[in-house]
Structure formats: structure tokens, C-alpha cells
Structure 1
Amino acid sequence: MHGISLPGLLAATAVTLAAGIVAPAHAADEATDFPSRPIRIVVPYPAGGSVDLLARALGERVGAKFGQPVVVESRPGAGSNIGAAFVAKAPADGYTLLLGTSAALAVNVSLYKNLSYSPLKDFRPVMLATRLPSLVVVNSSSPVKSMKELTPYLSSQGAQASYASAGNGTPAHLGGELFKKLANLPKLVHVPYKGGAPALADLLGNQTTMMIAIAPEALPMVKDGKLRALAVTTSNRLAQFPDLPTVAESGVPNYELVAWYGLVAPAGTPAPIVAKLNTAFNEALEDPKVRTRLTDMGFDLVGGPPSVLENQMRSEAVKWAKVIKEAQIEMD
């Protein structure tokens, strides 16, 4: 049996200790120089939607702080999996980030049989950017004038009634399935799109019956009189929409849906770089101009340390896994 000589063991130990000292120092040096080139925020939905708007508003402010451009890149498709998988496989250097919704960061892991990434293993949380309500909306030409009228109307339409969503696994999809279950509407048809903008466009064209749409995306069309808002999906009425009832108080007890968007980096991104990104994006959320612009659009800004987003990802994964299982939803 051959052993390791004492001099050899001491030499190996010295190398290991040196590596332990050098690695953090190297990461700190990287953070000091970061960023030395443009940062890319990948949005897993088409341009023009609420995720895109949020990414651009924050990116502009962060870019000004760093003195480097922050480029927003749209990579839509497959319920946000295309964009999310791209970032999961990107270099862990802080230059490629994902602004994802609950779909990419908590839901799809239960929804898709063959997901190519694991949210908790392949991403490092940076910041929970926002929580935001959704609105139950119909075309302004719809005969439905209130939330209490919606359920009997959908029931009377049978399989002709449909709800649009921004894609499989999105808040609009899961919110629609939850509504379908609680309102006892087994024939209500789900029509997924590659983002909120195209889904709303077809609702405007009367191609679908209704949508549970993210407030920042639907609100401009409600204000223009093109869509009619019937209810909010939060548990309580909102100050922004005091006259809109909640879904729960309109005959669908226990209904609640709150969407959220989080910023993540690839797993393995050095902690000092994540800390620097977290600070910069929190400062962007606190900027008065950015804050006013986003809150006026319906965003409920959050911020805070990365742990807030990690806790959100974990708790939401458990919540929606149960809904998905009970609704027997499964995607390839």
C-alpha cells in the first residue's frame, strides 16, 4: 500500500489553502472591475409586454449608474422556457441576467415533464423586482358588464367560451385554471399565446372571451375604453382601482392571484458580483422617476436582498405544484 509522504501532504495542503485565499480575492477583483462591458437582460416574452417594460425602465437606470449599456433582449417561446434555459446555460459572470416571471422561476418545474433547467439549482437570485395584480378583462363590446355576470355567461357558452393567456405556466394561465376550478367551468378553453401583448390583441379582436391580464399590460386598453375590467385578482380591493371588486367578493370565494417578476443570474455567479447587481437594481427601484413611472403603470415594487426572491421562488413552487396537480395540467 502506497501512502502520501509528509512533504507531499504539506505541499498539497499549502496549495489548497492558497487556492482558498486566491479564489475569494479573484472574485473580489472581478466585482471591482464589474461591469467592464454591456450587461444583457433576457426577457422570455415578446417586446412590449410588462416584463419588457420593467426591464427597460430598470436597465436604463442601472446602465447610467454603471456607465455601461444594459441591453434588453427578447427570447420568447415555450412558456418562457427558451429564454430561461438560455440564461441558465450562460457564463456565470453577471453579464447575462434573466428577468423572469413565476412561470420560469417557480411554475414550469411542475408543469413541464422535460424542463431543461432547474430554477433553484441553475439560477442565483438577484432581486425580487415586483409583485403586481391582474385584472379580469373582456372586450368592451362583450355583453358581460360585471364579474357576477361573467360566470353564468361563460357557462352558457360552453366550449365556445375561452380565456387567453400569455403562455403556458404564466399567471394568466394558472389564474385561468384556478378560476375555472373555483367557478365550476369545466368547458372553459385555454388559448395560450407567446406573451401578454399578442394575447390582448386577440382579445381586442374578439378571438377569445376573456383574460386574466397583468395590470400594466391591460390598464392602457381599459383606460382607452377598448377593454372592460370586471375585477381585480388580489384578496382586497386596490387603491389604484377602488371601484373594481375582487374576484372573491364577486361570487368566486378564495380566489387570489398575484404575479411577480424576479431578476436572476446563472448559478455560480460570484457573490460579490451578485451583491453589486442587487445594490444597483435596488437603487433603480428607489429612483423617484423610475418609481413613479412604474407604479403609475400598476407595478407594486418590492426590492430587497436576494433571499427575498429565493423565498418567493420556493414558496410559489410549492403552491402552484398543488394547483397544477389538482388541475391535471402537464406540458411536453
Structure 2
Amino acid sequence: MTHVRKALRLSAATAALLACMAGQGGHAAHAADFPDHSIDVVVPMAAGGPTDLVARLVQKSMSKQLGASVVVENKAGAGGMIGVNQIKHATADGYTLGIASSTTHAVAINVYETLSYDPVKDFTPVGNIVVAPGVLIATPKVAPGCKLSAFIDDLKRHPDEVKYGSSGIGTLSQMSGVRFMSATHTEMLHVPYKGLSAVMNDMYAGLIDAAFDNVGSALPHIQSGKICALAVQAPQRLAVLPDVPTYAELGYPELNKPTWYGLVAPAGTPAPVVQKLNAALNHALADPEVVAAFQRLGLTPAPSTPAGFAKQIKEEIAMWKQTTDQMHFQKIAR
């Protein structure tokens, strides 16, 4: 009887080992054939905004490197939650990817009471794309001379009258405003939109006074002369905005941290497929045309390994937890 039990245990162990080897072999075969049709990249924000812009700048080069079309699909709404959940529930085969940002993968988990996804457990990091300095923009009406000091003075004279727009409740563009008000001891009215491009339309119409945007998407509006750039989040002044000081220069170093955008896949995506996608992404980020396009927008390509990007996401979550704890931020009910 003992011999029978031993035989059964050995048989079960052998079967498990063979199954594991078969699974690894299947993944390897899948990676060798990958991709054999187009790849969708879900952008959880509206077209024309910074998240969308980042995806489209690597789209062509990644398509060429992978030998298959990379199709950008915008799924805006609920502060990015609609698009992120689409990524989460997609088949983990590498054919549905998504753009991750501080908003979706670091801020949200720290500002909502409940969240329909886990930014670490529900996704497989593919790689970071860019470091993206933020910029505080405002209309000349509320920022005379396009000076941050004049803007703050106006806020203190007219508390809760100045309106700032964001890409949605719980997004980085809202929380940047919350951090700004905390640091400057001021108050503004928050007006959420589905994307920052819609905010810009209403700034021109005089319905919104200010916004916390990405330099890349805000730059054309700043260069038009109709919108003021008051401060940038960057280690030093940007070549594309040499006359705009950093927050640190203006006495607010705690507001000076730039944001980032990266590429993720659903949890469980085979490692060989992830490595292939990472190689294609990093190749795109080394493409001189892509690098030049990013630099013209004040963005810095930031290639990484999947493991390096995973570490970055976890560190950003910890940073926003510390920030919201220090601010005694009351989490948002959904």
C-alpha cells in the first residue's frame, strides 16, 4: 500500500511538472508568434489630452518594431476608471494594453474610499514611457503679468471664486490643485471634466480660470499668448518654457515633482510577451524622431524594464499616501 501511495505521489508530481513545462512552452510559442494581429492601446482619458498625446507619439514606431498595427482607443470617463477597468478585464495575451499614469496607478488608490481595481495586482507593468513636467496655467484675468505671486494674491482676495478645471474627480489634475491650495493656503472651486482638452476650451471661453496641466498638451496654448504659464514641475527650467520658473524657485519645492506615463498589460500576461512589448517600447523611445517630438513638448523619454516600472508605481503610491495623510485628505466616496 505504501508503494502505491508513493507511486501516486510521484505520478502527481510528474504530471504537475509536465503541465508546468507545457505552460512555459505554450508561452514561449505564443511569444514567438506574437503579434499576429493588431494591438489595442487603451487611453483612459479623452483625445487631445496629455495621456492621449503620449500614446500617439510611440504608436507608429512600436507598430513598425512589432510588425503589427498599434491602435489607440480612447475610453474616457470617471476620472480614467472606465478605461482602466477595460484594461483590467481584457484577455491577458498582450493584444490589449493601456496607458498608466500617476492618476490611475498612484493617486486613485489614495483618494477613493473604494476602487474597482488594484493598481499593482491587476496589471503587468510593461515599461515607463516619459517623465512629464506639469504646469500651472491660468488666464491673464486672474494672474496679472502672468506671475504666480499675482495669482496667489488674487486667490486670497477672492477665496472660492476662482475656478480650476481638471480631467475628473480624483485625477492628478484635481489633486495637484488640492496640493497647491494646501501649500499656498488658498481656496479655489474645482470643476471636473472628462479631459483636459475640454478644460482648455472653457478657459478660452472664460468659464474656467486655471488648470494643472501637462507641459506637452498645454504648450501650444501657452505659446498662443492667451494663456499664462505660472510655474512648472521640473528640476530646472525647461528649454521650451525658459521664462517660466519652477515651483522650487518660487518657494514651493513640495510642488515640484513631475509626473510620468507608462504602458501596462492585464495581470497574467506571459512574461515573454511582456519582454517583447518592452523591447518595442524602448526601441520607440530611442527613435530620434520620437525623442525629438517629446523634447519639443518638454517631455523626457524614460525607458525602463518591466521590473523597474513596477518599482516606480509602488514608490509613487507610497508618495501619494504620505501626501494625502499629511493633508488629512478625506477620501472620496464612489
Q: Report how far residue 178 of structure 1 moved.
A: 1.0
- Checking the alignment, whether the CA contact within 8 Å between 2:53 and 2:217 is kept in structure 1 is no
- Checking the alignment, whether the CA contact within 8 Å between 2:46 and 2:194 is kept in structure 1 is yes
Give the equivalent residue in structure 2 for 1:275: 275
Three-state SS of the structure 1 residue aligned to 2:228 is: strand
- Checking the alignment, whether the CA contact within 8 Å between 2:238 and 2:298 is kept in structure 1 is no
- Checking the alignment, whether the CA contact within 8 Å between 1:177 and 1:327 is kept in structure 2 is no
Q: Report how far residue 249 of structure 1 moved.
A: 2.5
Which range moves more in the overlay, 140-149 or 212-221?
140-149
- Checking the alignment, whether the CA contact within 8 Å between 2:142 and 2:154 is kept in structure 1 is no
Which range moves more in the overlay, 42-51 or 245-254?
245-254
Three-state SS of the structure 2 residue aligned to 1:121 is: coil
* Identical residues among aligned pairs (%): 35
Relative to structure 1, the CA distance from residue 10 to residue 238 in structure 2 (aligned partners, 3 Å threshold; closer, same or farther) is same
Give the equivalent residue in structure 2 for 1:28: 28
TM-score normalised by the chain length of structure 1: 0.94
Give deviations 1:97-155, integer Å, cap 9, x for gaps. Answer: 11121111111112122211101000010001111111111124545221111111111
Three-state SS of the structure 1 residue aligned to 2:120 is: helix
TM-score normalised by the chain length of structure 2: 0.94
Q: Distance in 2 between matches of 1:213 and 1:268?
A: 33
Q: Distance in 2 between matches of 1:84 and 1:170?
A: 13
- Checking the alignment, whether the CA contact within 8 Å between 1:215 and 1:298 is kept in structure 2 is yes
Task: Work out the number of aligned pairs and report it.
Answer: 331
Q: Distance in 2 between matches of 1:314 and 1:52?
A: 23
Q: Distance in 1 between matches of 2:57 and 2:242?
A: 27
Q: Distance in 2 between matches of 1:76 and 1:200?
A: 16
Q: Report how far residue 156 of structure 1 moved.
A: 0.9
Give the equivalent residue in structure 2 for 1:295: 295
Give the equivalent residue in structure 1 for 2:80: 80
- Checking the alignment, whether the CA contact within 8 Å between 1:147 and 1:247 is kept in structure 2 is no
Q: How does 1:65-214 map to 2 (within 5 A)?
A: 65-145=65-145, 146-185=147-186, 187-214=187-214
Q: Report how far residue 4 of structure 1 moved.
A: 6.2
Give the equivalent residue in structure 2 for 1:53: 53
Q: Distance in 2 between matches of 1:3 and 1:159?
A: 81
- Checking the alignment, whether the CA contact within 8 Å between 1:158 and 1:188 is kept in structure 2 is yes
In structure 1, runs of 5+ residues without a counterpart are none
- Checking the alignment, whether the CA contact within 8 Å between 1:140 and 1:225 is kept in structure 2 is no
Three-state SS of the structure 1 residue aligned to 2:202 is: helix
Q: Report how far residue 327 of structure 1 moved.
A: 4.6
Q: Distance in 2 between matches of 1:57 and 1:74?
A: 15
Supply the AA of the counterpart residue of 1:20. Answer: C
Give the equivalent residue in structure 1 for 2:221: 221
In structure 2, runs of 5+ residues without a counterpart are none
Which range moves more in the overlay, 3-12 or 64-73?
3-12
1:5 pairs with 2:5:
yes
Which range moves more in the overlay, 237-246 or 223-232?
237-246
